[in-house]
A and B are shown apart, each in its own frame.
Chain A
């Protein structure tokens, strides 16, 4: 899976939790889940669980700690698939 494909899949996953839909349309590696997408921090765990299901991977707490941005999430996924 190339980077653009991965980003598209991630966008689909985070879309129900992103409150700022315009920021979601302009998603990039630099997008911050809470700062830019106005995601509630209680929903970050849903993103992590959805990623686990979609990519059939397991994300440990250490990896989850960093997952505040698109870039960090992509890195965690890429390292595990």
Chain B
């Protein structure tokens, strides 16, 4: 299962005053707060960790269909010193891959490491007709919601489906879909 989250850094800067009292404590574990406050660019670290938690929550939500707001219970951990992160939630460990630049931070979470390595990523402008735009960019494929309301990529020729996840914020939109096929309808 997969989930993703994109943060438009300019938008986040406009919308969130994370320096306010209580903000960090409500969302981040002590270890995460230290990472943020000791970082060269605290706000970039903050949105990186946030996007990981949110991506993992979305993957978890796909598994259980349960909605809740508990970012602190999704903890970012660094198993090695190589810069990679995992997000732990209860007994589940999510594998994370992130992209960082001056404009946005994007994180992807999957349960299987092999799935993470085969995820397809497509960045687009955040606009209402993004699904049509996707079909235009990938002729023969379309982005649709399945019966449960979850996004999937469908190959028109074969009818085969891939689990997908869409995230948008500010100017940016990311569509990711699994390299493996979705078996259940």
Binding site for B on A (CB under 8 A): 17, 40-46, 48-49, 52, 61, 64-68
Contacts and interface: CB of A to CB of B under 8 A. Distances in A.
B69 A41 contact: yes
Contact of A46 (B12, B16, B54, B72): B16
Given A45-B26, A64-B69, 20 more contacts: A40-B15, A41-B54, A41-B69, A42-B7, A42-B16, A42-B50, A43-B15, A44-B69, A45-B23, A46-B17, A49-B22, A61-B72, A64-B26, A64-B70, A65-B68, A65-B69, A65-B70, A67-B69, A68-B68, A68-B69
27 contacts: A17-B15, A40-B15, A40-B169, A41-B54, A42-B15, A42-B16, A42-B50, A44-B69, A45-B26, A45-B27, A46-B17, A46-B23, A49-B23, A49-B26, A52-B22, A61-B70, A61-B72, A61-B73, A64-B26, A64-B70, A65-B68, A65-B70, A66-B68, A67-B69, A68-B67, A68-B68, A68-B69
A66 B68 CA distance: 6
Classify the secondary structure of A's interface with B.
helix
Contacts of B54: 41
Contacts of B20: 46, 49
A64 to B, nearest CB: 6
A22 B27 CA distance: 29
Contacts of A42: 7, 12, 15-16, 50
Q: Which 8 A-B pairs rank lowest in CB-CB distance, beginning with the nearest? A: A65-B70, A65-B68, A45-B26, A49-B22, A42-B16, A44-B69, A65-B69, A45-B27
A46 B22 CA distance: 9
Interface string B54-86: 100000000000011111110000000000000
Contacts of B26: 45, 48-49, 61, 64
Interface of B: 7, 12, 15-17, 20-23, 26-27, 50, 54, 67-73, 169
B75 to A, nearest CB: 13
A16 to B, nearest CB: 9
Contacts of B12: 42
B42 to A, nearest CB: 15
